[in-house]
Structure 1
């Protein structure tokens, strides 16, 4: 092991009693493959491991997501090669540095915060709207509720963060970093009610149009798909009324 760093809310100064702990475990390059096979055993030797699993679902197989304790604490252990330590999207603080070189690596390579790919979103958004409309028309309201959550997480939350100059992290911390936008997003919530679900879909479209337009981004808008998908949604809502 070369070093250990901490990231997340602890570094950002936003920690509270509900915060998890994000640890980065830096491994010598030539030992990395062997360590990857022993991660659970190592974590169990460092803390009272209650449960844990790997992070493929978030696109990060190097990550082990755990509960340790009691008292229960969520701790994420991200194992990285020393050569990859500088690649990061947020600041981190070094807790232990075997050779004293990790601080220099961080200073030379600042974090790069990802921005939402607005063209990627626009290419998909109106197909997603049609999908949500079909589920509404079929009466699959639980599916619509889940779909609205997906839109907030994938599209509207990141756009809200961009509006206030924050890093996009789904809908994380929006109530504190973007309170006005979080208030607007309440219109995209609904219960198990067909009328309310239709209105929440329309509200999602309106916020997307407004917030995307205000970015001033030079992207190719899919106007034909937009017109047809929105009309389809209105037709479904009218039939359900």
Structure 2
């Protein structure tokens, strides 16, 4: 076994041992980079624990169970990503970031990927996987179009006011929520934000995305905002279904507003 996998495998072996001793546990699986074999020394570990008793979203129950797997240094629930069944955990010796999703068998039927089954009781996880289909949430092109030009105007307002750090943060949000997913789709991948953009996108797309990153000053931000608008328009026109209702009026108004911001000097 490669040396970088040993800490992960040791953790998994301990987790399996704990699960085997618990009559309420029916399966443990690994997702994310464990599925593709791309896990490296800097990866986190994505686990799915299936139990007959519902542990989530009670964070106390989730933490108590997670603490059986090793020395738990810190943890919090995944409310920030809309997943209260997820516990984000940091373990000691070795220092590992482990995400554990606590599910019941019924909940396991609905999933975004087919994880690698690490251990199961009576082939229950394998059976569920065979009887159902994993589906990663697709891009909602209409919802994106309805929001995008409002978001661009909002970012321009921040630049106009001189709130450069907030504008830079907002551009990062747009990359994660819109540009990254569209570029993943263009390059044949799942719309997972900007995950592994450096290797998943072709060189031209990486360069285009890089141009949407700005230092917190007016000219750099306006340039990056303009690039983000152009990149979105190109990706939308190339990838969206013909049924998409493009808001050309809002696009034109925001583009014009950007031109006016270019002419304004604000002292802060």
TM-score (norm 2): 0.86
Of 147, 152, 175 in structure 2, the residue corresponding to residue 152 of structure 1 is 175
Whether 1:32 aligns to 2:54 is: yes
Q: Which residue of 1 aligns with 2:131?
A: 108
Offset of 1:35 from its aligned partner? 8.9
Give 3-state SS (helix, strand or coil) of 1:32's partner.
Answer: coil
Partner of 1:184: 208
Q: Residue 191 of structure 2: SS of its match in structure 1? A: coil
Aligned to 1:38, the other structure's residue is in SS state: helix
Corresponding residue for 1:199?
223
* Aligned residue among 87, 94, 99 for 2:110: 87
1:232 has 2:254 as partner: no
5+ residue gaps, structure 1: none
Q: Helix, strand or coil for the counterpart of 2:236?
A: helix
Could you tell me how far 1:216 is from its partner in structure 2? 4.4
Aligned to 2:19: none
Give distance in 2, aligned partners of 1:95 and 1:33: 20
Please give the per-residue CA displacement for 1:55-97, whole angstroms capped at 9, x wherever unaligned: 0110000000000012210001100011111211112011111
SS of alignment partner, residue 23 of structure 1: strand
Q: How many residues align?
A: 239
SS at match of 2:264: helix
**2: CA distance between counterparts of 1:33 and 1:140?**
43
Which residue is equivalent to 1:44? 67
State whether residues 71 and 91 of structure 2, in contact with CA within 8 Å, keep that contact through their aligned partners in structure 1. Answer: yes
Report the Cα distance in structure 2 between the residues aligned to 1:3 and 1:97, rounded to whole angstroms.
4
What SS class does the counterpart of residue 24 from structure 1 fall into? strand
Q: State the match for 2:234 in structure 1.
A: 210
Native 8 Å contact 1:129 1:233 kept in 2: no
The residue number in structure 1 matching 2:189 is 166
In the aligned structure 2, how far is the partner of 1:44 from the partner of 1:226? 51
Larger RCO: Structure 1 or Structure 2 (Cα < 8 Å, ≥ 6 residues apart)? 1
